[in-house]
Amino acid sequence: MIEDFVKKHVAVSSLESPEHAKGGDPRVITCTWFIGKRCNYDCSYCASFYHDNYSPHVTKESAYNFIDQLDIYAQSQKKKFKMNITGGEPFVNPNFLNILVYAKQKPSLTQLAVVSNGSIPLQIYLKATKYLTNITISLHLEQSQQVTERTIENILKLNQIKTLFCNVNLMLLPGKLNQVKDIITIFEKNNVKYITRKIEPPFEDTTQVIKKGDTQAIKREQETFVYDKIHGKNQNKQDLETRLQEYYSQEELEFLSTKEVNWNNIRLHRETDMLELNTDELKARGLNTWLGWQCFIGIDSLYIQHNGEVYRGNCLLGGKLGDIGGEINWPSQPLVCPATSCGCNADMMVRKTKEPKYKLLID
């Protein structure tokens, strides 16, 4: 049914917030902020363009400058903004709580979310929840049993906060199926929202990964980061299905195919009806493509790279718009998508139309 509907849909809208779920133009700018690559974990399947242990932290001053600019721009457009902060691990930034406090004061902020690995002491999370509306915990199972149990305890505590939307990305590490099933039992017993995520197998040569202290390699990486990220993503797509078959057992793949997401975040429109589902379902079925469609990234969304560069979306299409410490050239028109697939959930949820005439369905 889903495949048949996707083939005939003509527009896309988001369900990521109450403003989006109302339909039409949400008058909200969704800002995804990759606030830093620095992370206290080193998961085998996390590419080097997403994490390291040496990148400089975003400074408090540049963060404040960007938040000021975004707030002023949103007000000038009679819009609100929501901010999703990811990494790396955002909480390793020593100024992170201050950044949350500063963002929360802005009159046009409507939602403040963070993605974390759940390893931070609970008291720090509880301080952050005074300012956060949403938190996503990515539960990684390469850590010790003690760390995993402590992370699950954090999740259960955070899930009890009524003013906080808490959900979990449960990463199915090969060989951990029984542990994943046990964790799911705990989550379902405690009404925790979760997605069982299929891991994309590692594709990088770990002997070539830059080490902390290698100043020359770090300098080269900083100069070529955007190219390397795009190249890395393309490289990861090569032979992905074959690598997945080698990475997972048949039992694990069958288990993943039966796990349905228990909440929706995207709405697909046909001329006379619509379908609500989760972007992970589209990705799992290989239906995440809108080549040639008009996409409102840069209008409804913004993406900030770890080095402060500003783009329309995580795909980096449309070129650099500016830097968080300087002037930003805000787009005024949607982008015609040149990509064969859309890999980022945040980009997937941005409004899209197959032809301009269908804009009335999402306007």
**Tens digits of per-residue pLDDT, 119-168?**
999 999 999 999 999 999 999 999 999 999 999 999 999 999 999 999 99
pLDDT in tens, 77-91: 999 999 999 999 999
Tokens of 172: 């199915």
- Provide the 3-class DSSP secondary structure of residue 40: coil
CB 11 within 8 A of CB 359: yes
pLDDT tens string 269-326:
999 999 999 898 898 788 999 999 999 999 999 999 998 999 999 989 999 999 998 8
Q: What are phi and psi of 114, to 5 degrees?
A: -145, 150
> Is residue 5 in a domain?
no
Tell me the H-state helices in 39-111: 60-76, 96-104
Instruction: Enumerate long-range contacts of 102-108, CB under 8 Å, 24 or more apart.
Output: 102/63, 102/64, 102/67, 103/67, 103/131, 104/131, 106/67, 106/70, 106/71, 106/81, 107/71, 107/75, 108/71, 108/74, 108/75, 108/79, 108/80, 108/81
The CA angle 227-231-236, to the nearest 5 degrees, is 150
Range of the domain at 60: 27-263+295-335
Residue 228, pLDDT > 70, answer: no
Work out whether the CA dihedral 130, 131, 134, 135 comes out positive or negative. Answer: negative
Q: Which residue bears the tokens 């050239």?
A: 329
Q: Give pLDDT, residue 188.
A: 96
Q: Is-contact 335 318, C-beta < 8 A?
A: yes
pLDDT at 1: 76
Q: Is residue 49 part of a domain?
A: yes
- The CA distances from residue 112 to 42, 104, 130, 271, 337, in Å, are 26, 7, 11, 33, 28
State how far the Cα of 229 lies from the Cα of 50, in Å rounded to an integer. 9
Classify residue 300: in a domain, yes or no: yes
Nearest CA-CA partner of 204 in 55, 315, 48: 48
Residue type, position 287, single letter: L
Instruction: Classify residue 346: in a domain, yes or no.
Output: no
Instruction: Name the β-bridge partners of 301.
Output: 30
3-state secondary structure of 138: strand
Coil vs helix vs strand at 130: coil
Q: Which residue has the tokens 């902390």?
A: 212
- Per-residue pLDDT reduced to its tens digit, 326-356: 889 999 999 999 998 898 889 999 999 999 9
Q: Where are the beta strands (DSSP E) in 103-233?
A: 109-116, 134-139, 165-172, 193-198
Question: What is the DSSP track for 46-61?
Answer: S-TTT-BS-PPPPPHH
Residue 360 lies in a domain: no
Token couple for 194: 């979760």
Crossing angle of helices 177-189 and 145-159, in 10° steps, is 20
Q: Which residue has the higher pLDDT, 249 or 325?
A: 249
Task: Identify the weakest region by mean pLDDT among 14-18, 173-177, 222-226, 241-245.
Answer: 222-226
Instruction: Note the pLDDT of residue 258.
Output: 85
CATH number of the domain encompassing residue 246: 3.20.20
- DSSP assignments along 301-352, one per residue: EEEE-TTSEEESSTT-TT---EETTS-B----S-EE---S----HHHHTS-E
In this prediction, residue 231 has a pLDDT band, given cuts at 50, 70 and 90, of low
CB atoms within 10 A of CB 162: 5
pLDDT per residue as tens digits for the range 46-82: 988 788 888 889 999 999 999 999 999 999 999 999 9
- How high does pLDDT run on average in the chain? 91
Report the C-alpha gap between 335 and 355 in whole angstroms: 12
Q: In this structure, is residue 309 part of a structural domain?
A: yes
3-state secondary structure of 14: strand
Lowest mean pLDDT among 218-232, 238-252, 304-318, 342-356: 218-232
Residues contacting residue 152 through CB under 8 Å, at least 6 positions apart: 139, 183, 186
| Residue 200 belongs to a domain | yes
Residue 41 CA to residue 46 CA, distance in Å, equals: 10
In the chain, the number of structural domains is: 1
pLDDT at 174: 97
Residue 277 lies in a domain: no
Assign 186 to helix, strand or coil. helix
Q: Indicate the pTM of the whole model.
A: 0.88
pLDDT of residue 239: 82
Q: For position 50, what pLDDT does the model report?
A: 85
pLDDT exceeds 80 at position 233: no
